[in-house]
Amino acid sequence: MPLTSAAAMVGGIVLRSPGLTVSGCTSPKRLLSASSGTLIPNLSSIFADNYQAPFLPITHLKYRSPRLRLVTGAAESTQSSAVTTSADKPTVPDDEISVTKVSFGAIGLSVGVILLSYGFGAYFTILPGTEWSALMLTYGFPLSIIGMALKYAELKPVPCLTYSDAFALREKCATPILKQVRSDVIRYRYGDEQHLEEALKRIFQYGQGGGIPRRSAPTLQSIREEVTEDGRYALVLVFEAKALELSDFEKRQAKFTSFFGPGITAEIAEGGNYTYEVKLISNTTP
């Protein structure tokens, strides 16, 4: 006799499988538990003999696969479009030759170490020039000390990204202060803890009322020369400040304008990853 439903009582719970047809269940192993005699369907046998899992139509599977490929293609198209847009804007390489871009600490340390090494080698007759060993040791030792001191106090220049349209406007539109700021931060400095240290000290008022702690001071990471939408020259200072928020920069916007002025307007923007951009826009029109 065919069964239209399979049911079992296990621990007071009725297990029911509606719509399942079982025919020819004559074996007690299939419907009865050997230990308790309770009616428990052997589901593995039922499914093996009488149940067929529903399958999706082939047309349905073929319909969904192209949608995945289209989405992927759209993402790739968007990424390539963004890369092309940023790459289309030409930049000017910083190939200016200047003595300020040379590390005197590295030069002094290298020359001093060479003189010391050769002087010791000549003194112990490992290298030729024994008569010059004393002179090389005499000059090599202080040069090494001076080189190490300069290297310790050295402040490396920050990267500068210059777009070609901004480069063309720099000479006639950038104010003397903007030009000085640019030249100061792209060269080696000695004795300063960070670039624009005096400016940041006055603007953020380290340790004073309404100011910020010195340990929270922003650090200049890079600068960028660009042209605004209305065609004005702008020098963008990119700071990293993990302990500050955008509001800390925005409420000092007037101080940035007054310190780096006259003839400029300061704008504040958030760059992401704890970076903030201070855009110093020249009021001089080309």
The percent of the chain in helix, strand and coil, each rounded to the nearest 5, is 45, 20, 30
Q: What is the pLDDT of residues 177-229, one digit of tens each?
A: 999 999 999 999 998 889 999 999 999 999 888 899 999 999 999 999 999 99
Give the pLDDT of residue 11. Answer: 42
The band of 113, judged by pLDDT with boundaries at 50, 70 and 90, is very high
Q: Say how far apart CA 123 and CA 129 lie, in whole Å.
A: 8
Residue 64 has pLDDT above 90, yes or no: no
Q: What is the mean pLDDT of the chain?
A: 77
Q: What is the pLDDT of residues 225-247, one digit of tens each?
A: 999 999 999 999 999 999 999 99
H or E, element range at 148: helix 133-152
Question: Is the whole-model pTM more than 0.75?
Answer: no
Count CB-CB contacts under 10 A for residue 162: 18
Pairing assessment for the beta strands 219-227 and 160-163 based on DSSP bridges: parallel
Q: Say how far apart CA 148 and CA 116 lie, in whole Å.
A: 14
Count CB-CB contacts under 10 A for residue 41: 22
